[in-house]
Amino acid sequence: MKRYCVSYVEVWDGDRVVSSWYENKNQNGSGYGSISKGSPDHKSTFHRLISDMVIRSVVNVPGNKVTKTSMDLIEGYDCYYTTANDGKVLVCFVKEEVPKFLPLRLLSELKDLSNDTDENLQINIDRQLDKFHEELLSYRTEGQQSAASTEEELQNIIAIMNDNIDKFLQRQERISLLVDNTNQLNENSFKFQRKSSKIMRKMWWSNVKLYAIVITILLVIIVVISLLLLR
């Protein structure tokens, strides 16, 4: 049976990478959904895309749901991200043919675990992938159906779930964009208020200086007139 696997996972804390995971899980070379170790260029490509395209667009809201990027960052791969309650951002790349509920479930589980080192992240991912594979195997061991019919039924289930998840992710992306736009409007409003306050203070000081100059001139005129009258 195919063993599904994600391709790359990276954990960010602010503007730095805390940990990353990139490994071919299949030892016999027939991996499905993962990149072989002979493709080191993919790792740097994934990291660069996350740094340049994903992190900048993430709305870091505690408890954020897993979201799929609306853009196709690299051909043949989907990109998912989520935010943990401690502010960390988790990003995952996975091949398009991998069931969509795998990256959703993986990121949802990882966000509540300690991933502060590459070793911890690898252990957590291995456990989740093993658990996912065992659940898929249970479909083949239940009942008296043949392996072929069970595989076909499993693929039908995956197709239905993928369709439902696609609809969910589209709504989630729209919500994320709405939150992003709202945050941008709030930020622009705050900047406008600060700028307006600075302008008001500047105008106030200008008026104070003007009044001071006028009063000074009037006092000088009064003094001059008084001196002339005294003579």
- What gap in Å lies between CA 65 and CA 171, rounded to an integer? 11
Q: For residues 110, 103, 42 and 62, what is the CA-based torsion angle, rounded to 10 degrees?
A: -50
- For residue 121, count CB atoms less than 10 angstroms from its CB and return exposed for 0-12, middle for 13-18, buried for 19 or more: buried
Per-residue confidence (pLDDT) for residue 154, from 0 to 100: 66
What percent of the chain is predicted at pLDDT more than 90? 27
Give the tens place of pLDDT for each residue, 104-143. Answer: 889 999 999 999 999 999 999 999 999 988 887 776 655 5
Q: If you average pLDDT over every residue of the chain, what do you get?
A: 77
| 119-128 contact pairs (CB < 8 A, 24+) | 120/19, 121/9, 121/11, 121/19, 121/20, 121/21, 122/21, 122/23, 125/6, 125/9, 125/21, 126/25
Per-residue confidence (pLDDT) for residue 150, from 0 to 100: 58
Per-residue confidence (pLDDT) for residue 46, from 0 to 100: 93
SS3 32: strand
Q: 72: pLDDT confidence band, cut at 50, 70 and 90?
A: confident
Residues constituting the chain: 231
User: Residue 125: CB partners within 8 Å, gap ≥ 6?
Assistant: 6, 9, 21, 106, 110
Question: Contact, 87 vs 62, CB < 8 A?
Answer: yes
The CATH code belonging to domain 8-185 is: 3.30.450.230
**pTM, full prediction:** 0.61
Looking only at Cα atoms, what is the longest distance across the chain?
Answer: 127
Give the tens place of pLDDT for each residue, 154-174. Answer: 666 666 666 776 666 666 655
Calculate mean pLDDT across residues 95-105.
87
What are the residue boundaries of the structural domains of the chain, listed by start? 8-185
